[in-house]
């Protein structure tokens, strides 16, 4: 049956030739090979987001009067609605976690080296997009926490010198966070961001297919010294099957998490109520949030908030350009490794601090 279809396709546009790169692609086997699973896991969770997101669209209504009620309706009236929404929320958080883990593993294994600079750049842009998904999706249930998170988040955007105010108005659809903001964020979340993400994701995966998996420098050196030690596995079907096993387990964990700890809805947003005590952004924004809290109101002649935003902007840019700083010589490699350790330590420490801080 499959053979007949394959033959039919092959006769018409060379299916076998099209699939050949998949078969040629090899996955290097060494003690760090487990890290190769993280990217695929992020991709799988993205797929879950697309499917559950489309399902939520069947009942969700993007307006200030109806958004909260429609999510409430999904959670209470629609059969298995609570499950679909909980999976969407859990999978979103796990996807962001795996995107970060994938990024840091790539950084530490220095997989961004020539010729894979653009794979890194596209990956970092994808991470920014994923954070955009998180930020825009968070508002959609139109509950109190989401309302204030969006108010603060967009206010921070407004601190950017020169273009800040224009960006704030663009994001909010006005001067304040209102129903207009909700409709806008909905558009970003279900149309704009998915469109850009799909294109970038295609590029990212195409580059990986084209360039193959990178082996870490230490392993590469070892293999160059003694070629008989080199070990590899075919990507298709061997590695692919292992990945699918991991996805299968992930799906099970996801279902269990959603069933044991369904996502809460909270209370409906009220633009004229005081912010609740202990309000915090989602964990993936905590390190920035905590940093901004710690910078004093004035540093010399410059506002603390403005300084923080500028520093994070600069940090993000440097991070994006990381492959171009690591030239591969001993000295720059050591500097890069030091910087990496610092970044990870900073992000983890600030996240934990932000979590426990009052």
CB of 52 to other proteins, least distance (A): 9
**Residue among 79 and 226 whose Cβ is closer to other proteins:** 79
150 vs 139, 147, 177, 221, CA distance in Å? Answer: 7, 5, 7, 49
Q: Which residues contact 212 (CB under 8 A, 6 or more apart)?
A: 25, 26
CB of 26 to other proteins, least distance (A): 26
Q: Which residues bind other proteins (CB under 8 A)?
A: 55, 58-59, 77-81, 83-84, 248, 251-252, 255
CB of 328 to other proteins, least distance (A): 45
**Residue among 73 and 353 whose Cβ is closer to other proteins:** 73
CB of 233 to other proteins, least distance (A): 20
CB of 55 to other proteins, least distance (A): 6
Burial of 77 (0-12, 13-18, 19+ CB in 10 A): exposed
**Residue among 128 and 248 whose Cβ is closer to other proteins:** 248
CB of 329 to other proteins, least distance (A): 50
**Residue among 78 and 131 whose Cβ is closer to other proteins:** 78
CB of 81 to other proteins, least distance (A): 6
**Residue among 59 and 319 whose Cβ is closer to other proteins:** 59
Whether the CB-CB separation of 254 and 262 falls below 8 Å is answered with: no
Under DSSP, is residue 278 helix (H, G, I), strand (E, B) or coil? coil
**Residue among 83 and 337 whose Cβ is closer to other proteins:** 83
Q: 139-154: buried (b, 16+ CB within 10 Å) or exposed (e) per residue? A: bbbbbbbbbbbbbbbb
- Strand (E) positions, 42-179? none
**Residue among 81 and 308 whose Cβ is closer to other proteins:** 81
Whether the CB-CB separation of 168 and 154 falls below 8 Å is answered with: yes
Q: Which long-range contacts link 330-337 to residues 24+ away (Cβ below 8 Å)?
A: 333/110, 333/217, 336/110, 337/108
Whether the CB-CB separation of 212 and 24 falls below 8 Å is answered with: no
CB of 251 to other proteins, least distance (A): 7
Q: Which residues contact 276 (CB under 8 A, 6 or more apart)?
A: 144, 145, 148
Tell me the backbone φ, ψ of residue 78, rounded to 5 degrees.
-75, 135
**Residue among 76 and 209 whose Cβ is closer to other proteins:** 76
**Residue among 56 and 126 whose Cβ is closer to other proteins:** 56
Burial of 83 (0-12, 13-18, 19+ CB in 10 A): middle
Distance between CA atoms of residues 331 and 340, nearest Å: 14
CB of 260 to other proteins, least distance (A): 15
- Segment (H or E) for 140: none
**Residue 111 DSSP label:** T
């Amino acid at each position: 049956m499959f053979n007949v279809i394959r033959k039919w396709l092959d006769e018409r546009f060379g299916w076998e030739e099209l699939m050949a790169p998949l078969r040629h692609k090899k996955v290097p086997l060494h003690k760090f090979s487990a890290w190769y699973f993280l990217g695929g896991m992020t991709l799988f969770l993205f797929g879950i987001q697309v499917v559950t997101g489309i399902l939520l669209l069947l009942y969700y209504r993007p307006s200030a009067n109806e958004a909260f009620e429609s999510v409430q309706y999904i959670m209470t009236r629609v059969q298995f609605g609570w499950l679909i929404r909980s999976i969407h929320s859990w999978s979103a958080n796990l996807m962001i976690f795996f995107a970060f883990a994938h990024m840091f593993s790539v950084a530490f294994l220095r997989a961004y080296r020539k010729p894979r600079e653009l794979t890194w750049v596209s990956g970092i842009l994808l991470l920014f997009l994923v954070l955009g998904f998180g930020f825009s999706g968070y508002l959609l249930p139109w509950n109190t926490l989401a309302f204030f998170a969006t108010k603060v988040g967009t206010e921070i955007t407004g601190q950017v010198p020169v273009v800040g105010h224009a960006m704030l108005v663009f994001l909010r659809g006005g001067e304040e966070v209102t129903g207009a903001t909700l409709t806008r964020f909905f558009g970003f979340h279900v149309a704009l961001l998915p469109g850009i993400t799909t294109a970038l994701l295609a590029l990212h995966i195409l580059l990986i297919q084209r360039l193959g998996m990178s082996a870490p420098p230490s392993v590469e050196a070892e293999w160059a010294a003694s070629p008989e030690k080199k070990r590899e596995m075919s990507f298709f079907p061997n590695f692919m099957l292992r990945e699918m096993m991991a996805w299968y387990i992930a799906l099970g964990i996801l279902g269990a998490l959603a069933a044991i700890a369904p996502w809460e809805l909270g209370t409906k947003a009220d633009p004229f109520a005081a912010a609740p005590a202990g309000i915090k952004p989602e964990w993936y924004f905590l390190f920035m949030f905590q940093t901004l809290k710690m910078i004093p109101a004035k540093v010399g002649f410059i506002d603390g908030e403005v300084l923080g935003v500028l520093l994070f902007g600069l940090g993000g840019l440097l991070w994006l350009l990381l492959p171009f700083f690591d030239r591969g010589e001993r000295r720059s490699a050591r500097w890069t490794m030091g910087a990496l350790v610092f970044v990870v330590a900073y992000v983890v420490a600030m996240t934990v601090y932000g979590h426990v801080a009052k």
